Structure 1
């Protein structure tokens, strides 16, 4: 995918992606953890590229994340149909209220509380990665760590298959720049109570390298 910018949270993810690439025009950059720094850093990379006369053609948020049990297997690959700001909203006695139900116009949110993947990019990756699980990827600022919060997220987002911490921020930066966007994740652990015995980091990084072959 010529002219592609792939952003990851940390250098280890960037190295795993680079290990699977053959196209020298694909740029991979680690931009930091969480939607704020990821969005700001991505926006800066896009602006600098445009200023030098070599703009990027599209943006991919890539890395590892947690998968919802029964929806995305540990060690598997996930393609996001949309990236969702899952914990942006308000608490209430009746439960969590998503930001779009608080009466704020979509333009205050960079287009809305979720950003759809570009249909063309998503279709290309689905063809190249036919075994990947496809669904919404939730962006959270606090990693889900209890059975109750996992159930609540799954109930609020019936199409969600995974969660991570950067996708929505990167998606907003790409959207503001008028560029196609998609999120690609590999699953290192099931979402829920933190049990490191169930984590498969090595398998997730290996899967990320393999999935990166679809990027060029």
Structure 2
């Protein structure tokens, strides 16, 4: 009988996120076999470069992953994703890649220069969100973390239903798409999207939520891989 476990590559921005994910996978034990965790870097450019390096290295070894996951902490849009909760991307959006005009922001796709979003596998991303009790909706990739109420309102208005923002998802997704590998994005919420109040961030709580999430996920991937054969 064929081993139906997915070979999964999880990419984080920094080492603390990698360690949180690895701790969850270790708790999952045997079910986590075939899952690798690496640091890709902070921001969309570093994440794209790091993801491409990791994917190319894996492909040269004849073991290209079946799934790439961008994971880490991020900001949550209230009230959908409060601090300490989880968010899973229905779409991965390049929220500040484009042009600012007198009429407002124009996404790069509308300018005719590429794409502005990626779509994770719908059944898998929904199954992951359900298994984690996570908010499910657009996750926005930004190069500058939101620090004002006006900016938060603008992003929420342009992206109805947005659940979180972070800095790496779109970069990872771009690299994965070039090699034809599906991608997910999972965020543990450390702070609300809005006025910057660093003292109110709960990074430890978010990292603990990330660990808990990855303790549950290998079983979800295994079930979904089995569905691929039906």
Q: TM-score range by the shorter chain?
A: over 0.9
Partner of 2:98: 89
* Structure 2 residue 48 is matched with structure 1 residue 33: no
- 1:169 matched residue in structure 2: 171
Structure 2 gap ranges (5+): 219-230
Conservation of the 8 A alpha-carbon contact between 1:121 and 1:181: no
Deviations 1:165-184 (A, max 9, x none): 00001011111111111100
Which residue of the other structure, out of 16, 19, 23, is the alignment partner of 1:19? 23
Q: Structure 1 length as normaliser, TM-score? A: 0.93
The separation in 1 between residues aligned to 2:135 and 2:127, in whole angstroms, is 14
Count of residue pairs the alignment pairs up: 209
* CA displacement, residues 144-190 of structure 1 (integer Å, 9 cap, x when unaligned): 11111111101000021100000001011111111111100000000
Counterpart-to-counterpart distance in 2, 1:206 and 1:100: 36
1:122 aligns with 2:137: no
| Structure 2 residue 57 is the aligned partner of structure 1 residue 45 | no
- Aligned-partner SS, 2:163: strand
2:135 aligns to what? 133
Aligned counterparts of 1:134 and 1:214: Cα–Cα separation in 2: 17
Q: CA RMSD for the aligned pairs?
A: 1.2
Is 1:194 matched up with 2:196? yes
Match of 1:59 among 53, 57, 68: 68
Structure 1: state its 5+ residue gaps: none
Instruction: Give the counterpart of 1:147 among 122, 141, 149.
Output: 149
Instruction: Please report the TM-score for the alignment, with normalisation by the length of structure 2.
Output: 0.87
Contact 1:68 1:191 in 2 (8 A): yes
TM-superposed deviation, 1:196: 2.0
CA contact (8 A) 1:35 1:170 kept: yes
Q: Structure 1 residue runs of 4+, over 4 Å off? A: none
CA distance in 2 between partners of 1:27 and 1:95 (Å): 41
Q: State the alpha-carbon separation in 2 of the partners of residues 150 and 126 from structure 1.
A: 23
The partner residue of 1:8 within 8, 12, 15 is 12
